[in-house]
Amino acid sequence: MNRIGYVIVYVGDLDASIAFYRDVLGLPHRFTDAGYAEFGTEAPRFALYERRRAEWLTGGPVSPGPAAEVVLIVPDVDAEAARLAAHGVPILSGPADRPWGHRTVHVADPDGFVVELAQEIPRTRSRRP
């Protein structure tokens, strides 16, 4: 088993969350049915990150509850950060170059989940086998 089919984030206000991911972030909305909304994204990537390290990325503590991160790959993080700020979306951190090969900006969705927009850049740190 090495393929993730879906990542489903549980939200408090479905309409507000659909509007955020569709209208603010620009994800293509496929359909809504019986309290479920699906977006037309490509196959997801999935990773784990230590909670104690999240403050470095988000600029503040990440408390239990909605402590998750959704990462969207974009071609230009700086342009997206400016666009999101113009929509009134508070920037949690960034844009900043990360040693693992991403330039990132972090925002929060309506439920407080961290959303990272990442642009691929050259790595400055190698991976250990």
Q: What is the pLDDT of residues 93-126, one digit of tens each?
A: 989 999 889 999 999 888 788 888 999 998 887 7
- Cα-trace Rg, the chain: 15
Would you say 68 and 9 are in contact if contact means Cβ atoms under 8 Å apart? yes
- Assign residue 58 a region: left if phi > 0, alpha if psi is -120 to 50, beta otherwise? alpha
Look at residue 121 and give its three-state secondary structure: coil
Asked if residue 104 lies in contact with residue 96, where contact means CB atoms within 8 angstroms, the answer is yes
Domain spans of the chain, in order of start: 14-120
CA-based nearest residue to 44, from 70, 20, 77: 70
Tell me the CATH architecture of domain 14-120: Roll (3.10)
pTM over 0.75: no
- pLDDT tens across 53-79, in order? 656 666 776 565 555 678 888 999 999
